[in-house]
Amino acid sequence: MRYTNHDQNPSAIFFNVASDYETAKETCASHSETLLSCHQFSELNEQFSYQKYLGNLGANQLLWSSCSSTKPTSQDGILSKAGKSAKYPFLCTNSAPLVKDVYTDFSSFPRASTTVNGTSFEGLRDHMALRFIGIPFAKPPVKDLRFKYAENWEGTNVQATNYSNGCLQYGWFEGDGYGLNPWGNSEDCLYLNVYTSTIPDSPSDDSKLKPVMFWFYGGGQTTGTASDSTFDGASIWVQKYIRGFGGNPTNVTIFGQSAGGGSCIDLVTSPKTSGLFSGAIQQSAGRGHDTVPDTAAALILPYIDKYCYGVNGTGEARLKCLQDLPAETLLNITYSEVTSWQSIVDGIYVPDIPMSQVAKGKAYINPVKLTSTFMPEEAQSLLETLLSPDMTNFTANLWTLEEDGQISADQVAEILESNLWLITNETIPNNGSTTYPNVYNASINVATDAQLACFSGQYAALGTFVAAFDPVWVGVHQRGYGLSYYDYYDLCTFPVGEPETPYYRCHSSDLYEIFGTYYLFDLPVRVPEDIYYTNAVQDMWTSFARTGNPNVNKEYLKARSYNTTIKFFENWEWPQFEMWDQAAASIQWLQGGYTTLPSLRHCKVIVPDLTL
């Protein structure tokens, strides 16, 4: 992909329906387009190659073009001989504009539509894809539906041409102060977006449908929105409707990052999601966010009583009081008092703490194909400005982390006693210790291990040991690009043209690279390798969605002319993570490498004291 000039990439609409010339011409006109000129066919060689790989085009398949009403065109753009009444597939022009930034006005974009299970959806066509945005997947959770299980949305017509509100929240997506959320905030926020390249003529044949990747955004379960352009990215809704958008409901991969990765963990271990997906990619998923009802009640009841004082009767009465409160009152509690909301082990949707549920084996979870990935210095951005890079006292930093709830007092003692985090530039004997050039680096490593890496590594190892997942793939990104609004001290990226400059691979610095959305935020490509890395990562993620294996089929890469990813895999492959060989991929351009679970020795110190 050429991320700096998407609008210069050739684009056309392929109708794989045998039609006579007049019908082909009329079909293009109905979409406010014309038949594509035969002189433009040569620009689409890679696309023709891919369609042949899929079996949608024969090697010598002819197509209608605007060059002749009586002679179809070869894939090389050469006119052939055939009767005017003969029927062939055809290409139309695609004059739809490129979505260039967060503030794109979609009012002039051409429309696209599909109907499935009696419901019609009207969406948009842009330069690269079809997008159906702002689709309700549940009834608005307001008034009597607040604090209740979501109820299915029912309707027959959906205008999916504008992004929806983000949920009520504080932070980066509260309004548009950071240039991220021009769509506003509302309690009515249960919407999803579908991006697709294909609307099937007949959605009944699953073999012709495409794998589905179902994204869960992060944000600590308190911030974020499905409309975030970073992810220019209901499971029951997918099963019911996704065929109409060209997606295969029998091949769904859920994936998410940070709290979104934690949501994937909860879904994998929930009996309510059986059969809804077959794969999961957990990016920086951390230790999960589950707590038990009594603990949650003890935390929140003082604030409920503050606003519903005197409601000492039934649970129904207390619920009615909470439903009648202004939404802003509840939001203020979140901001000033209860700053995090955790999944509850309710015995219905969440039967047990995730690690305990996985330990029971595949009969007690959804035994999906699993990929788990990390960033090396997750905590640098997660901690925001809690620690200063100028600090020189490691012990003081540990107690600061303890006061903030990042680690426990017992962990502080064991970390100091272990002598595994050494601040020195000197070479030391290989006794399991790791050296760090400064206190800040060592402190970031402690918080990364405690909050994310150790739990996720243990989760993958345990799942492999009890054969809960098959297969398992583990990877560590060695390249990052910090989010523009989440780069404290400007340390999560390197300057343009200076890739050798040391920087932190921070939490969330894999997102621009996975979704390729640098350009929507006017961020520069620092070096060409940024593009090659993004290409490779996207190819591995989509390969996993197709096949359960991130090692991309070489014939597929050749068919698509994905030459940089072909080079990426020339002397490397992503190793499968197995009980007897816990190898992980070290992901970097040009050459990937191999590593083990993050900070294995460190985790032996930290994990025994992890608390939920």
Domains in the chain, CATH or no CATH each: 6-93 (3.10.100.10), 106-283 (3.40.50.1820), 290-339 (no CATH)
Burial level of 608, CB count in 10 A (0-12/13-18/19+)? exposed
pLDDT over threshold 60, residue 419: yes
Higher pLDDT, 318 or 207: 318
Is the whole-model pTM more than 0.75? yes
Q: By mean pLDDT, which of 122-131, 285-294, 327-336 is the weakest?
A: 285-294
Residue 313: what pLDDT?
60
- Token representation of residue 188: 């009515």
Question: How far is the C-alpha of 487 from the C-alpha of 178, rounded, in Å?
Answer: 13
Question: How far is the C-alpha of 445 from the C-alpha of 453, rounded, in Å?
Answer: 10
Give the tens place of pLDDT for each residue, 28-45.
999 999 999 999 999 999
Higher pLDDT, 178 or 500: 500
Q: Which of 466, 465, 464 is nearest to 474 (CA)?
A: 464
Single-letter residue type at 411: Q
Question: How far is the C-alpha of 351 from the C-alpha of 69, rounded, in Å?
Answer: 64
Q: Count of CB atoms within 10 A of residue 401's CB?
A: 24
What average pLDDT does range 75-82 have in this prediction? 89
pLDDT over threshold 90, residue 330: no
What average pLDDT does range 93-111 have in this prediction? 91
What average pLDDT does range 310-326 have in this prediction? 81
Q: What are phi and psi of 122, to 5 degrees?
A: -110, 120
Higher pLDDT, 603 or 206: 603
Q: What are phi and psi of 246, to 5 degrees?
A: 90, 10
Residue 383: what pLDDT?
93
What average pLDDT does range 402-407 have in this prediction? 90
Q: By mean pLDDT, which of 176-180, 198-202, 274-278 is the weakest?
A: 176-180
Do the Cβ atoms of 198 and 235 come closer than 8 Å?
no
Give the tens place of pLDDT for each residue, 482-502.
998 889 899 999 999 999 999
Q: What is the 3-state secondary structure (H, E, C) of 315-373?
A: HHHHHHHHHHCCHHHHHHHHHHCCCCCCEECCCCCCCCCHHHHHHCCHHHCCCCEEEEE
- Token representation of residue 55: 């079996």
Q: How far is CA 150 from CA 142, 147, 190, 259, 268, in A?
A: 10, 9, 9, 20, 19
Residue 108: what pLDDT?
93
Confidence of residue 464 (pLDDT cuts 50, 70, 90): very high
Residue 289: what pLDDT?
59
- Token representation of residue 543: 């390969």
Active-site residue flag, 74 = no
Confidence of residue 232 (pLDDT cuts 50, 70, 90): very low
Q: What angle do CA 515, 520, 523 make, to 5 degrees?
A: 95
What average pLDDT does range 151-168 have in this prediction? 90
Question: How far is the C-alpha of 539 from the C-alpha of 541, rounded, in Å?
Answer: 6
- Token representation of residue 78: 């050469």
Q: Which of 578, 572, 570, 571 is nearest to 597 (CA)?
A: 578
594's CB contacts (< 8 A; 6+ apart) are: 575, 583, 584, 585, 586
What's the DSSP call for residue 594? Answer: E
Burial 103-133 (b: 16+ CB within 10 A, else e): ebebeebbbbebeeeebebebbbbbbbbbbb
Helix (H) or strand (E) holding 265: helix 259-268
- Token representation of residue 176: 């548009």
Q: By mean pLDDT, which of 211-225, 258-272, 335-349, 590-604 is the weakest?
A: 211-225
Question: How far is the C-alpha of 175 from the C-alpha of 173, rounded, in Å?
Answer: 6
First to last CA, the chain: 43
pLDDT over threshold 70, residue 610: no
The chain-wide mean pLDDT, for the chain, equals: 88
Residue 9: what pLDDT?
85
Q: What is the C-alpha radius of gyration for the chain, rounded to an integer number of angstroms? A: 26
Q: Which of 117, 112, 101 is nearest to 230 (CA)?
A: 101
Catalytic residue among 258, 263, 284, 586: 258
What's the DSSP call for residue 185? Answer: B
Do the Cβ atoms of 215 and 260 come closer than 8 Å?
yes
Give the tens place of pLDDT for each residue, 349-378.
889 988 899 999 999 999 999 999 999 999
The share of the chain scoring above pLDDT 90, in percent, equals 59
Confidence of residue 323 (pLDDT cuts 50, 70, 90): very high
Q: By mean pLDDT, which of 75-79, 127-131, 429-433 is the weakest?
A: 429-433
Confidence of residue 228 (pLDDT cuts 50, 70, 90): very low
Q: In a 3-state reduction of DSSP, which class is residue 206? A: helix
Question: How far is the C-alpha of 247 from the C-alpha of 514, rounded, in Å?
Answer: 20
Residue 519: what pLDDT?
81
What average pLDDT does range 278-292 have in this prediction? 82
Q: By mean pLDDT, which of 305-309, 461-465, 482-486 is the weakest?
A: 305-309
Confidence of residue 231 (pLDDT cuts 50, 70, 90): very low
Question: How far is the C-alpha of 154 from the C-alpha of 594, rounded, in Å?
Answer: 49
Residue 175: what pLDDT?
73
- Token representation of residue 406: 């990042």
What average pLDDT does range 219-240 have in this prediction? 56
What average pLDDT does range 160-172 have in this prediction? 86
Residue 227: what pLDDT?
39
Helix, strand, coil tally for the chain in percent (to 5): 35, 15, 45
